């Protein structure tokens, strides 16, 4: 029975945990992918046929574009859906986060999986350091988001000091930094700076003064993207209301990020990294949703 698993379900992804397809075939960590038509056992009478995941077709390579970011040349919006972890929902034991990244048509573009220390997840919660591995539909890592643990970071009043500012670096391909997202000093509302690889500020991200999720606060929470110093809105990151049950009993969140279609793909990847930083800082802790 064990030897039949690779033929029936595909190869097991040991790095992220999940079954993928045979070499050369689309693979998604954490999902079962059928290799051959008819290989799966017949569905029981009356059972519903599972909905097949749609994949975005990878465009041809573009000179000067990091491998795997060709997808971003054809989108002006990404939807980031965090997967519900049943162990975490029922026991409160903090598990590694996983996300599906889709385009506006619902086609999967990327899959993101967190890598972090188990003790840090339990003791430091959303303040933990992590690496977010973002893979394409072939299972190749195309973007890596790095966040170092900072013991005293997070206060918006003290974010002017490097040791007190939450930040992530974005690499594409892994090992080559293409951008940074850094918490900026602010009086009350969240504020971030989006920088390129040379630490030059390209955008500012300004969040709402009141961040809450509950039965009386079912609207989206918008973090507006503008040029440095303010000005006309060029995009936004939105925390989307996912429903009362999901908001109250899990920390699995949905986000949307919009940007100009002709924006440099490296900056688009950096804005995607900003989604994960905002999620961990304001929406990852379940108690934040219960307030």
The residue written with tokens 């026991």 in the block is 91
pLDDT band at 77; cut points 50, 70, 90: very high
Provide the pLDDT for residue 124: 87
Provide the pLDDT for residue 249: 44
Any residues with CB less than 8 A from the CB of 110 and at least 6 apart, and which?
A: 71, 100, 101, 134, 135, 136, 137, 142, 143
Question: In degrees rounded to 5, what are phi and psi of residue 6?
Answer: -60, -35
Helix, strand, or coil here: 53?
Answer: coil
pTM of the shown model: 0.75
Q: Percentage of the chain surpassing pLDDT 70?
A: 70
Of 110, 130, 112, 106, whose CA–CA distance to 120 is shortest?
Answer: 130
> Which residue has better confidence, 29 or 290?
29
| Tokens coding 18 | 């999940």
Q: Maximum distance among all alpha carbons in the chain? A: 63
> Which residue has better confidence, 1 or 76?
76
Cα atoms found within 13 Å of the Cα of residue 186, Cβ hemisphere only = 19
Q: What is the mean pLDDT of residues 189-193?
A: 94
> Which residue has better confidence, 287 or 152?
152
pLDDT tens for residues 217-273? 556 789 999 999 888 999 999 987 654 444 444 445 799 999 999 999 999 999 999
> Which residue has better confidence, 50 or 103?
103
pLDDT tens for residues 274-284? 999 999 998 87
217 burial class (0-12, 13-18, 19+ CB within 10 angstroms)? middle
> Which residue has better confidence, 256 or 48?
256
Query: Is the pLDDT score of 198 beyond 90?
Result: yes
Q: Which fold has domain 75-290?
A: Tubby Protein; Chain A (3.20.90)
Provide the pLDDT for residue 214: 55
Give the integer Cα–Cα distance in Å for 238 and 235: 10
As a whole number, the mean pLDDT across the chain is 78
Q: What is the mean pLDDT of residues 193-207?
A: 96
pLDDT band at 42; cut points 50, 70, 90: low
Domain ranges of the chain: 1-39, 75-290
Query: Is the pLDDT score of 145 beyond 60?
Result: yes
């Amino acid at each position: 029975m064990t030897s039949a698993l690779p033929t029936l379900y595909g190869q097991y992804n040991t790095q992220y945990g999940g079954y993928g397809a045979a070499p050369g075939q689309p693979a998604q960590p954490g999902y079962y992918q059928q290799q051959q038509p008819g290989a799966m056992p017949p569905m029981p009478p009356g059972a519903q046929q599972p909905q097949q995941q749609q994949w975005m077709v990878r465009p041809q390579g573009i000179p000067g574009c990091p491998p795997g970011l060709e997808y971003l040349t054809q989108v002006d919006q990404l939807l980031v859906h965090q997967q519900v972890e049943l162990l975490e929902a029922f026991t409160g034991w903090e598990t590694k986060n996983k996300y599906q990244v889709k385009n506006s048509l619902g086609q999967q573009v990327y899959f993101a999986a967190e890598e972090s220390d188990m003790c840090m997840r339990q003791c430091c919660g959303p303040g933990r350091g992590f690496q977010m591995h973002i893979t394409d539909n072939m299972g190749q890592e195309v973007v890596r988001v790095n966040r170092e643990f900072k013991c005293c970071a997070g206060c918006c009043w003290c974010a002017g000091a490097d040791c007190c500012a939450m930040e992530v670096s974005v690499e594409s391909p892994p090992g080559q930094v293409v951008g940074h997202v850094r918490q900026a000093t602010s009086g009350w509302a969240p504020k971030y700076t989006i920088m390129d690889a040379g630490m030059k500020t390209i955008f500012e991200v300004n969040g709402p003064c009141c961040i809450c999720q509950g039965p009386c606060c079912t609207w989206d929470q918008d973090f507006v993207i503008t040029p440095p110093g303010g000005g006309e809105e060029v995009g936004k990151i939105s925390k989307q209301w996912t429903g009362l049950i999901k908001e109250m009993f899990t920390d699995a969140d949905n986000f949307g990020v919009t940007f100009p279609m002709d924006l440099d793909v490296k900056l688009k990847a950096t804005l995607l990294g900003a989604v994960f930083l905002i999620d961990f800082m304001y929406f990852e802790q379940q108690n934040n949703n219960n307030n």
